[in-house]
Amino acid sequence: MVVQALVLLVLLLGASGCVVCMDAVDSRNVYIADHAEIGIIETRSNIDKSRIVLYDKDLNEIGSVPLDIAGVEQAWGNLPVVGTCVYVAPYGNFKEGQGHEVLQIDRTDLSVTPFDVDERVLNGAAASDRYVFAFNDLNLASTISRCSKETGEVKKVIIPDDHVTSAIFAEGSLWVFAQRQGSTGEEEDQIGLLYQFSEELEKIGIYDVSACGSGQYRVLVHEGKLYFTSLEKAQGCDLRRVGVFDLVEDELSWIQLEKDYPSAMAVFDGKLLVSHCDVIAGRNTCSYLSVCDLAGGKVETRKLAHDVTEMVVIGTKLYMANSWERELYAYDANSFELEKSVVVSSMDDDYSYLSNIFSMNDAD
């Protein structure tokens, strides 16, 4: 009966026809948010129609939040979570490039608050308690915009010649990954960089992380250390590495892996979990999971029966998503045994893809 009631609730939400369905159904949204365990972003690049699909801990679909915008997050990007809110940066319809707002989704009631960062075609976002940050790379330069959550005031800083790939706010600073073309112009002659900015966008430092590659899109912070994977090679690097940057000592090290294409990451019980997937080449390229003991340094490699483009740990469960096949998997995070898998429903008959997955647990 509970499942039937939830299904009826979803139908009622979908029938209202509003953009985010907040005003008339606040109590219903709170009910869904209370029972949701994970959210999945479904989007497309050419039509202004996306949504956040919500699932409970047993992978039952229990609701969705429609969004009238295209290109909600990249398929290999970083999704910031601050307090009860998650932030997404739509780059918009590729035909128009209209994306200029970072969307704040409150996981307690599914309300959506836009923050205009006064830049279009956004590549990603970060957030602190006071500000929302976004970045793009137009006109041969990258722009980082900061929007006040309280006043809406926007401040910007430009990084010439570098392509910003991701950013995260941690330990009172904004950490920005960027890549720079080397002198030869060859594909592998790139430089991976990590900028440190204050919350006021004053540059504090810049660090060369090329030993771990370039094109850093996946980043996470755990116990004062910034972990990152790299999408592209750099000067003399080994891509079978997870970069580790100590935010206190400003020192770079890495975890050596056995397999290529490290991608999504999560932390569970003192272990760093790293999926291996070539998101550029496409499906069925490298389906492994590295389990890295952060204390002892041991790395265990597990073969998977499917690709993993997105991943999140909630409690003792490891949730994985395969964007190409539109599949969602629930594993026991202790034994790595598959408990359940489902196919994510489609919002209509047109092609769309899954761009990200996040926890609905406000204790993150």
Name the residue with tokens 């370039």.
214
Q: What token pair was written down for 154?
A: 């926007």
Model pLDDT, residue 5: 40
The pLDDT assigned to 1 comes to: 41
Which pLDDT score, from 0 to 100, does residue 162 have? 93
List of residues 6+ apart from 151 with CB closer than 8 A: none
User: Residue 96 has what pLDDT?
Assistant: 58
By C-alpha distance, which of 85, 58, 37, 82 is closest to 314? 37
The residue type at 109: D
Q: Which residues pair with 334 in a beta bridge?
A: none
pLDDT of 329 reads 97
Which pLDDT belongs to residue 28?
A: 80
Span 125-165, pLDDT tens digits: 999 999 999 999 887 789 999 999 999 999 999 999 899 99
Specify the pLDDT at position 20: 40
Of 9, 14, 51, whose CA–CA distance to 30 is shortest?
A: 9
The per-residue DSSP string of 318-359 comes to: EEEEETTTTEEEEEETTT--EEEEEEPPPSSSS--EEEEEEE
Q: Are 272 and 264 in contact (CB under 8 A)?
A: no
pLDDT for residue 288: 94
Q: Which is nearest to 100 in space by CA: 117, 80, 79, 113?
A: 117
Which position has the token pair 């204050």? Answer: 198
Give every residue of the chain whose pLDDT is below 50, as ranges. Answer: 1-25, 364
What angle is formed at CA 96 by the lines to CA 120 and CA 150, rounded to 5 degrees? Answer: 30
pTM, two decimals, is 0.89
Please give the angle made by the CA atoms of 316, 320 and 326, to the nearest 5 degrees: 145
Pairing of strands 154-160, 141-148: antiparallel
